Amino acid sequence: MSLNTLQFTDRLTAQLPADPLTENSCRSVENAVYSWVLPTSTSQPSMVNINESFALELGLDTDTQNDPLFTDLMSGNAILEGMKPYALCYGGHQFGQWAGQLGDGRAINLGEINTQKLGFQTLQLKGAGKTPYSRRGDGLAVLRSSIREYLCSEAMYNLGIPTTRALSLALTGDQVIRDKMYDGNADFEPCAVVCRVSPSFLRFGSIQLPASRGDEALVKQLVEFSINNDYPHLAPVDGQFTIETYLNWFKNVCDNTSTMIVHWMRVGFVHGVMNTDNMSLLGETIDYGPYGWIDNFDLGWTPNTTDESQKRYRFGGQFQVSQWNLFQLANAIFPLIGEVEPLQSIMSDYAIIYEQKWQKMMASKLGFVDYQGTTDSAIFSDLENLLARVETDMTLFYRLLSSYSSSKDALQHFKDCYYNPEQLSSDYLQQLTQWLTRYQARLNFDRLESTTRQKNMNSVNPKYVLRNYLAQQAIELAEKGDFSEIETLKSLLAFPYDEQPEYQRYAQKRPDWARDKVGCSMLSCSS
Ligand code: AMP
Ligand code: MG
């Protein structure tokens, strides 16, 4: 399909109220869900990378991808006929505090297409200039954070994790000053635009904002829109929404959210900024900022230096935060329900359902056919204590576990996943051996063929993840004009569960130089 024949449907702008003002200046926007705004054109747009396979799925063939108009479109320098770009209005709790109106300060939705393969998909440019929601920001995104979003969202997708997608990464030709670590060392950085794609960019904060203003009619409209479009199977056939429909919708949002968090825990992903404006109503991973991947297993780790003292968004706290965020969403829709009890009951179930999904996930990581109750729980928690006791690479450990057998020497087998061999005391070794003996006995209970078990384990324990230092290496090369590493990472992370011998070096633990390096283990919200 060529670009000029793309049809834009835009259910959101057709059905929800627009900000009546059309000038592009910062303001409080009330009784509206979005503002019309055009991307800002840039000095010298160029394409850095296209997600070719995803573009094809969207119906954009190779000729279309190579069309110079595609580069212009993906960098905010062209608008197609039928496109009416807009920025969404939403609020959010940031680090536990209500922040009021936030909105798409540097994201502009180009429009929605109805694709044959993937249904409705909205194309959004991140970093395409100021919007009425830019507040004190410049509406721009730098290359380093754009590379991180571009690579990570696709890595997540290929790991089987719900996420927004990324279609392209373009340079704008412009530069902007950023103080990367908020330490007074500001510098010029190249600007980039990522085209993100999702069936819906509505967030918890989209509902929270009108609720905070007492605009019950808009809350109702938004929830009903989300039911009709994000959760069409819940929409009443006669169009008559009831309290039951709203509750069912909330239950489904909870369900998708718990599924997403369990996936994050499975692969060692730490979002880093789980503010309610960064929580998708669809339960997709959204807004890749100072996220990080677990190298050595540590439930207390956060990559986000802005959160260093509180560690609110640490790896092991992601479930509790998701629950807290869902409580805020429950509060926001309370006027539609009128009673506390049914919402409270869904929230109590949330914790139970999360636990069940987590147990099932852990059982699968360990190669068990199914979760078998408290003995398995003890195996899980003892393993986590073991992994945290000495610095152990999470990804490598689970991958090696699949090929362990009792005839092997444990230390020899797992040696590659330890960061500090000097931590391996005889006491630790004894604990590891004891745990492995229990583990073996538990495997014997399942009587699964070991090749089958290994295959099962390797389909949930990735070999390749976007280790923080790998992304940083790609960024440092790209900042010198060499984009090859972006392509390499994209290709290898397309098959994260496969042995890819030619890429073996990407499956190694974090090198020592990256332990405390900015960009590798320390990131800020400056992007
Ligand atoms: P984040 O923590 O990246 O999700 O951003 C929180 C809010 O700040 C959102 O409303 C963003 O749109 C906005 N924001 C972040 N960076 C910028 C920027 N450079 N220019 C304008 N708005 C921004
Ligand atoms: Mg955000």
Residue 149: pLDDT band with limits 50, 70, 90: very high
pLDDT exceeds cutoff 80 at 1:
no
Residues with CB under 6 A from ligand 1: 102-106, 133-134, 137-140, 273, 277-278, 287, 289, 525
Sign of CA dihedral 11, 16, 22, 28: negative
CA nearest 34: which of 48, 20, 54, 53? 20
pLDDT at 221: 98
* Atom 8 (ligand 1) nearest CA: 105
In the reported structure, the alpha carbon of residue 97 is separated from the centroid of ligand 1 by a whole-number distance in angstroms of: 16
Of 28, 40, 277, best ligand 1 pocket probe by most atoms within 8 Å of the beta carbon: 277
Would you state the pLDDT for residue 181?
80
Q: Confirm whether pTM is higher than 0.95.
A: yes
Give, as one character, the DSSP assignment of residue 46.
E
Give the other-Cβ count within 10 Å of 238's Cβ. Answer: 6
Gap from CA of 197 to ligand 1 centroid (Å): 18
pLDDT value at 296 more than 90: yes
Identify the residue whose C-alpha is closest to ligand 1 atom 14: 105
Average pLDDT, the chain: 97
Q: pLDDT category, 463, cuts 50, 70, 90?
A: very high
What is the rounded CA–CA span in Å between residue 342 and residue 339? 7
Which residue, by CA, sits nearest to atom 11 of ligand 1?
A: 105
CA distances from 460 to 355, 360, 418, 436 (A): 18, 12, 21, 20
How remote is the CA of residue 94 from the centroid of ligand 2, in Å? 10
| CA 185/CA 295 separation, integer angstroms | 28
- Which pLDDT score is estimated for 245? 98
Least confident of 388-397, 479-488, 504-513, 518-527: 518-527
d(CA 427, CA 109): 57
**Spatial contact of 463 and 397, defined as CB atoms under 8 Å apart:** no
Q: How many helices (H) and strands (E) does the chain have?
A: 17, 11
Q: Whose CA is nearest to atom 15 of ligand 1?
A: 105
The ligand minimizing its distance to the Cα of 526 is 1
Question: Measuring from atom 3 of ligand 1, which residue has the nearest CA?
Answer: 289
Q: Find out whether 148 and 475 touch, Cβ atoms under 8 Å.
A: yes
The domain limits of the chain are 3-204, 223-363, 368-447
Distance from residue 287's CA to the centre of ligand 1 (Å): 10
Q: Give the position, in ligand 1's atom list, of the atom nearest the Cα of 278.
A: 4
Instruction: Point out the ligand 1 atom lying closest to the alpha carbon of residue 102.
Output: 10
Amino acid, single-letter form, for residue 40: T
The one catalytic residue in 10, 277, 287, 393 is 277
Closest Cα to atom 12 of ligand 1: 105
Average pLDDT of the segment spanning 382-390: 98
How does residue 21 score in pLDDT terms, banded at 50, 70 and 90?
very high
Q: Is the pLDDT of residue 2 over 90?
A: no
How distant, in Å, are the alpha carbons of 179, 232, 373 from that of 191? 14, 38, 52
Instruction: Choose one of 97, 131, 135 to mutate for the ligand 1 pocket test, by most ligand atoms within 8 angstroms of C-beta.
Output: 135
The atom of ligand 1 lying closest to the CA of 103 is: 10
Task: Determine whether 138 is an active site residue.
Answer: no
Average pLDDT over residues 289-312: 96
Ligand nearest to the CA of 126: 1
Residue 173: phi, psi to the nearest 5?
Answer: 95, -10
What pLDDT score does 125 carry? 98
Radius of gyration of the chain (CA): 24
Which numbered atom of ligand 1 lies nearest the CA of 140? 19
Q: What is the CA(277)–ligand 2 centre distance, in A?
A: 6
- Distance in angstroms (rounded) separating the CA atoms of residues 193 and 139: 11
| Ligand nearest the Cα atom of residue 141 | 1
Nearest atom of ligand 1 to the alpha carbon of 90: 10
Per-residue pLDDT tens for 328-378?
999 999 999 999 999 999 999 999 999 999 999 999 999 999 999 999 999
What is the best residue among 102, 140, 164 to mutate for testing ligand 1's pocket, by most ligand atoms within 8 Å of CB? 102
Q: In the prediction, which pLDDT does 286 show?
A: 98
d(CA 1, CA 149): 27
Confidence of residue 146 (pLDDT cuts 50, 70, 90): very high
172 and 191 in contact (C-beta within 8 Å)?
yes
Ramachandran class of 447: left when φ > 0, alpha when ψ lies in -120 to 50, beta otherwise? left
Predicted pLDDT at 345: 98
The residue whose C-alpha atom lies closest to atom 22 belonging to ligand 1 is 105
pLDDT tens digits for range 416-454: 999 998 899 999 999 999 999 999 999 999 999 999 999
400, amino acid identity: L
pLDDT at 137: 96
Q: Please state the atom number of ligand 1 nearest to the C-alpha of residue 104.
A: 12
Q: Which pLDDT does position 172 carry in this prediction?
A: 98
Question: What is the 275 CA–ligand 2 centroid distance (Å)?
Answer: 8
For residue 5, name the pLDDT band (cuts at 50, 70, 90): confident
DSSP string, 70-88: HHHHHTTS---TT---EEE
- Taking the centre of ligand 2 as the mean of its atom positions, its distance from the CA of residue 380, in whole angstroms, is 34
Q: Band of the pLDDT at 527, cuts 50, 70, 90? A: confident
Q: Which ligand is nearest to the CA of 127?
A: 1
Q: Which residue is closest in CA terms to ligand 1's atom 6? A: 102
Contacts of 367 (CB under 8 A, 6+ apart): 401, 402, 443, 446, 448, 453, 454, 456, 457
| Residues 385 and 359: beta-carbon distance below 8 Å | no
DSSP states of 235-277 as a string? S-TTS---HHHHHHHHHHHHHHHHHHHHHHHHHTEE-S---GG
Closest ligand by atom to 280 CA: 2
pLDDT tops 90 at residue 458: yes
CA of 451 to the centre of ligand 1 (A): 48
Of 464, 320, 350, nearest to 396 by C-alpha is 464
Beta bridge partners of 36: 86
Residue-level pLDDT at 166: 98
Task: Identify which of 125, 134, 523 to mutate to test ligand 1's pocket (most ligand atoms within 8 A of the CB).
Answer: 134
Nearest to 174 by CA among 25, 288, 46, 38: 46
Q: Give dist(CA 8, CA 187) in Å, integer.
A: 39
pLDDT tens-digit series, residues 173-230: 999 999 888 888 899 999 999 999 999 999 999 999 999 999 999 999 999 999 999 9
Report the C-alpha gap between 107 and 134 in whole angstroms: 9
Instruction: Answer for the pair 457, 439: CB distance below 8 angstroms, yes or no.
Output: no
Quickly list DSSP for 130-175.
Answer: --TT-TTS-S--BHHHHHHHHHHHHHHHHTT--B-EEEEEEEEEEE
Largest distance between two CA atoms of the chain: 73
